[in-house]
Chain A
Amino acid sequence: DTAVSQTPKYLVTQMGNDKSIKCEQNLGHDTMYWYKQDSKKFLKIMFSYNNKELIINETVPNRFSPKSPDKAHLNLHINSLELGDSAVYFCASNARVTGELFFGEGSRLTVL
């Protein structure tokens, strides 16, 4: 049983395209996140959703938009992709009682 799963694992696309990454968690957590990990391995929070409400929106371009159809899913849509968007994107969910973040396997996005 995969706790946090995201698809696709790899995504190669051209500049200017629009793409989506899907994320699902079966842990019953209320809060889900998207983190971006760049080539230097820096992990930076992008979005947080709690019960379908956006809680944190760091300084992320509005080309990025999270969509949460229900509390088990948090998808990431990216419009007009740029070279600098190339990174690994991790979905995560939060165990409120313990505080532990559970990460998905990551989606490596390469923009050509």
Chain B
Amino acid sequence: GENVEQHPSTLSVQEGDSAVIKCTYSDSASNYFPWYKQELGKRPQLIIDIRSNVGEKKDQRIAVTLNKTAKHFSLHITETQPEDSAVYFCAASIPGGGADGLTFGKGTHLIIQP
């Protein structure tokens, strides 16, 4: 099955600086890579995603890059704000089975220092 590794487990940055979270996946057949944000005590929510036919996608302060050859993808957050503090999960689609279930990374706790 798919295996997703995510680093770092904790990331502390100064407000206004950029944050980068990296993930690798094992199955070259995976074709969908979303990122979820989970605030304390709340449900995970999709913030951005990318498909394997695209190398980069941007939405305001958030961008995701994908390197299919190396099987890694990254989340970039620029001009970080206090409300960006949360746990971020990368994920990759589970190939086959028809259910499109996601395998999640272990999460990155992003802390924005004022």
Q: Chain A: residues with CB nearer than 8 A to chain B?
A: 31, 33, 40-45, 48, 50, 55-56, 90, 94, 96, 98-101, 103-106
Tell me if A41 and B107 are in contact (CB < 8 A): yes
Question: 5 tightest A-B contacts by CB?
Answer: A55-B99, A103-B43, A48-B99, A43-B104, A41-B107
A94 neighbours in B (Cβ, 8 Å): 99-101
Q: Report how far A39 CA is from B112 CA in the complex, Å.
A: 22
Tell me if A99 and B101 are in contact (CB < 8 A): no
Is residue B11 within 8 Å, beta carbon to beta carbon, of the partner chain? Answer: no
Q: Chain B: residues with CB nearer than 8 A to chain A?
A: 32, 34, 36, 38, 42-46, 49, 87, 89, 93-94, 97-104, 106-107, 109
Residue from A33, A100, A103, A104 in contact with B101 in the complex, judged by beta carbons closer than 8 Å: A33
Q: Report how far A48 CA is from B103 CA in the complex, Å.
A: 12
* Interface residue SS majority, chain A: strand
**Extra pairs beyond A42-B106, A55-B99, A101-B46 (10, CB < 8 Å):** A31-B99, A42-B107, A48-B99, A50-B99, A55-B98, A56-B99, A98-B49, A99-B34, A100-B49, A101-B34
Tell me if A45 and B106 are in contact (CB < 8 A): no
Q: Report how far A104 CA is from B44 CA in the complex, Å.
A: 9
From residue B110, how far is it (CB to closest CB) to chain A in Å? 12
Closest to B43 in A: A103
A56 neighbours in B (Cβ, 8 Å): 94, 97, 99, 101
Q: Report how far A42 CA is from B45 CA in the complex, Å.
A: 15
Tell me if B87 and A99 are in contact (CB < 8 A): no
Q: Report how far A86 CA is from B94 CA in the complex, Å.
A: 26
Residue from A41, A90, A99 in contact with B43 in the complex, judged by beta carbons closer than 8 Å: A90
Residue from A33, A48, A50, A100 in contact with B34 in the complex, judged by beta carbons closer than 8 Å: A100
B100 neighbours in A (Cβ, 8 Å): 31, 94, 96, 99
Tell me if B44 and A100 are in contact (CB < 8 A): no
Tell me if B102 and A45 are in contact (CB < 8 A): yes
Tell me if A99 and B49 are in contact (CB < 8 A): yes
Q: Report how far A106 CA is from B94 CA in the complex, Å.
A: 22
The residue among A33, A99, A105 with the most chain B CB atoms within 10 A of its own CB is A99
A103 neighbours in B (Cβ, 8 Å): 43-45
